[in-house]
Amino acid sequence: MTVPVGLSADAAVAEVTLEPSDNARLARMCGPLDAHIGQVERHFGVAIRRHGHSFAISGAADPVAGARSALQTIYAETASSEELSAAKVHLLVRGGHAGDDEPIVAVGRRLQVRARGRSQGEYLRSIQNHDINFAIGPAGTGKTYLAVACAVQALLEEQVQRLVLVRPAVEAGEKLGFLPGDLAQKVDPYLRPIYDALYEMLTFERVGKLIERHVIEIAPLAYMRGRTLNEAFIILDEAQNTTPEQMKMFLTRIGFGSTAVITGDVTQIDLPPGKPSGLKHVLGVLQGVEGISFNFFTARDVVRHPLVERIVNAYEQHAEPGDPRS
C-alpha cells in the first residue's frame, strides 16, 4: 500500500463502506456537524474522511482497525429511528454497548436500568447472586447508581422490607453533632448522589413518604454499631473512607434476608494521614470468601463525559511509584 503524504511508514489506511445505504441513518450516525465522527477520531487518535457512505480512516494500524469496527457498530445502532446521543456514542466507541444479553433492572413501571458493558453486567449479576458485594473503581462507572436501582427493585418486589443508606461522614472536617438539623438533615449532604438516584427512580414525593415511614433509612456509619439488619438492602457508599474497624463493624451488621453493596474508590481516600482505609484492608481479608463478590471498575468503564475517563487516566499515570492511592 502506498503511504499517503504526511503519514509515517508504520501508518495504515483503511476504507469502509456502510451498508445498507440510507441517508437518514447516515445523518444519525454522523451527528450534528459530524460530531459523532469526531468522537471516534479523538478516541482512537485517527483521521477520518467521509464521502457519502464510504469512510477512509488513517492512523496507526491498531487504532485504525478499532475505528473501523466502531463506525460499523455505530451504524448498526442507527437501524432504529432514535437519535444517537453523545453519551451512547461514547459507550459504543469504547466497546461498552449493552447487548440484549446484559442484565436489566426493572425499577417499577417507570424505568428500566440496563447494564452498560461487561463490567456493569457482571456487577449486576453479582448483586443478584451474592449477599455482600463490593464495587471498587473510579467515579462515573455507575457503582452507586446501579446499587440504588437494585435496592429499589428489591423493595418494590417485596424482596426486602427497607433500604438502609449508609456513608462515612468524614469530608466536612467537623463532628455531625455540630451540624444543624435532625439526623437525616445532618447526613443529607453526604448522601446526595444516592438521593438523586432515588428521586429519579421513585419521584421526590414518594421518597419523602418512604423516609417518613422509615422504609428508607439514612444513617451515618457511626450509628450502625450494635444493630442487626434483617430483610434489608444496605448500601455503604464512599467506603474508602472507612477504617478497618468500621468496615468490620458494618459487615457484621448484615442479618437474614439482607443484601449489602459496598462501593468506593481507593484513589480518593479522605481519611486523616496515618489511618488505613477499611476498603483497601478488606481486599486482603475477604477475597475468596464464599458469598462475597468483588467487582472492579477502571477508567474504561466510565459512563460520564469522555473527559472524565481521560482525567482518571491522567491521574493514574501521574501517581508516583509506591503511592498507596494509585
Give the residue, 324 or 104, on which the prediction is more confident.
Answer: 104
Q: Residue 98 corresponds to which cell in the numbers above?
A: 449493552
Q: Residue 226 corresponds to which cell in the numbers above?
A: 450494635
Element (H, E) at 51: strand 47-51
Q: Alpha helix locations (H) across 31-174?
A: 35-44, 61-77, 86-93, 118-129, 143-156
Among candidate residues 106, 91, 99, 212, the one with its CA nearest the CA of residue 155: 106
What local confidence, expressed as pLDDT, does residue 8 receive? 53
Q: Provide φ and ψ at 188, rounded to 5°.
A: -50, -50
Confidence of residue 140 (pLDDT cuts 50, 70, 90): confident
> Which of the 8 DSSP states describes residue 4?
P
- pLDDT tens digits, one per residue of 33-80: 999 999 899 888 899 999 999 999 999 888 898 899 889 989 988 888
C-alpha 52/C-alpha 219 separation (Å) is 58
Number of Cβ atoms within 10 Å of the Cβ of 78: 20
- pLDDT tens digits, one per residue of 261-309: 999 999 888 888 889 999 999 999 998 899 999 999 987 787 666 666 6
What local confidence, expressed as pLDDT, does residue 193 receive? 79
Q: What domains does the chain contain, in order, with CATH numbers?
A: 11-93 (3.30.1370.10), 104-318 (3.40.50.300)
Give the residue, 320 or 28, on which the prediction is more confident.
Answer: 28
- Asked which of 76-80, 206-210, 211-215 is least confident by mean pLDDT, the reply is 76-80
3-state secondary structure of 189: helix
- pLDDT tens digits, one per residue of 239-255: 999 999 999 999 999 99
Q: What is the CA radius of gyration of the chain?
A: 23
Identity at 171, one-letter amino acid code: E
Q: Provide φ and ψ at 238, rounded to 5°.
A: 55, 45
Q: Residue 108 corresponds to which cell in the numbers above?
A: 417499577
C-alpha 284/C-alpha 103 separation (Å) is 29
Give the residue, 114 or 32, on which the prediction is more confident.
Answer: 32
3-state secondary structure of 105: strand
**What's the pTM value of the predicted model, to 2 decimals?**
0.67
- pLDDT tens digits, one per residue of 3-32: 444 455 557 889 999 999 999 999 999 999
C-alpha 140/C-alpha 280 separation (Å) is 20
Quickly tell me which residue has 424482596 as its cell: 159
